[in-house]
Amino acid sequence: MRIGHGYDVHRLVEGRELVLGGVKIPYEKGLLGHSDADVLTHALMDALLGACALGDIGKLFPDSDAAYKGADSVELLKKVCSLIYSKGYRISNVDCTVLAQRPKLAPYIPQMREILSDAMDIAADCVSVKATTEEGLGFTGEGLGIAAHAVALIE
């Protein structure tokens, strides 16, 4: 068994859509980035790649490449899974935490788990997504950005 960890941050700005775990969430701001800036899916991909020691998404999908402008991160997750499955690995389970002061994410978590488990082709009960605030502290607490951590266990 092998374990991997991923971490990502994106800045919250006006005039962008908020996408987390493939779910479009109604909010006054969205995350800034070259792709759809889905910080949760980015952390998850880095955890999977980290478990296989296959680098990170910055290496695989460089933001200097116009092909990834506005990219759907769930589609990139499918590519990451194809790569790791082609190496003979299998995903046992993943656990993700989103750090956001607002909006409330609990209503969207079941849909995120469904989308992410479908993309990885594993059971939804092997995919955990949690959300927490940081009690108003730091950049997430002040609503300047959203961060996400993920760990992945592969065999």
Q: Considering only CA atoms, give the Rg of the chain.
A: 15
Judged by CB under 5 A, does residue 29 bind Mg ion? no
Judged by CB under 5 A, does residue 8 bind Mg ion? yes
The minimum distance between CB 61 and Mg ion, in angstroms, equals 10
The smaller minimum CB distance to Mg ion, of residues 42 and 113, is found at: 42
The minimum distance between CB 6 and Mg ion, in angstroms, equals 10
Contact stretch for Mg ion (CB under 5 A) within 8-16, 77-85, 120-128, 141-149: 8-16
The smaller minimum CB distance to Mg ion, of residues 107 and 115, is found at: 115
Instruction: Select from 42, 44, 77, 115 the one that contacts Mg ion (CB under 5 A).
Output: 42
Judged by CB under 5 A, does residue 36 bind Mg ion? no
DSSP string, the chain: -EEEEEEEEEEEETTS-EEETTEEE--S-EE-SSS---HHHHHHHHHHHHHTT---HHHHS-TT-GGGTT--HHHHHHHHHHHHHHTT--EEEEEEEEE-SSS--GGGHHHHHHHHHHHHTS-GGGEEEEEE--TT-HHHHTTSEEEEEEEEEE-
CB nearest Mg ion: which residue?
42
Q: Which backbone phi and psi does 13 adopt, to 5 degrees?
A: -140, 160
The smaller minimum CB distance to Mg ion, of residues 10 and 113, is found at: 10
The smaller minimum CB distance to Mg ion, of residues 62 and 110, is found at: 62
Footprint of Mg ion (CB under 5 A): 8, 42
